[in-house]
Amino acid sequence: MKKLTYLICIVTIMGIAFACSKNEGADPNPDPNPQGTTPGPKFLAVKSVIDMSCAKSGCHVSPSNAGGVNFESNANIVAHGPHIKARAVDEGTMPPTGTLTAADKAAISDWISAGGRLTD
């Protein structure tokens, strides 16, 4: 019985060690905007809309922004893509200063339809 318990412990420890070594160095939250990645035209169109309508007003810039989400980084824009579409296109509640133009809404919708990625 002692040998069986010892064997089970060894196998368990080896399994844990193998699992840990397999994920060693893996980033649990990979950056959707790795350095050297060139943004695609659909993303750049959306970034332009955000820069002019969301960041310029001071709402979605800096860590202590009034909007609660910082859109200065491409990664945050990508991460919040569906929310951006919901608020700015579907609901029309953003920006609070007035609705976006039809062209701006189309740019956001097209980007989301294409996958809402940095590259497209």
pLDDT at residue 117 tops 90: yes
The residue to which tokens 């064997």 are assigned: 7
Q: Do residues 78 and 32 lie in contact, with contact meaning Cβ atoms separated by under 8 Å? A: yes
pLDDT tens digit sequence for 40-96: 999 999 999 999 998 777 788 876 666 778 888 899 999 999 999 999 999 999 998
pLDDT tens digit sequence for 80-110: 999 999 999 999 999 988 889 999 999 999 9
Q: What residues contact residue 53 under an 8 Å CB cut-off, 6+ apart?
A: 88, 95, 97, 100, 104
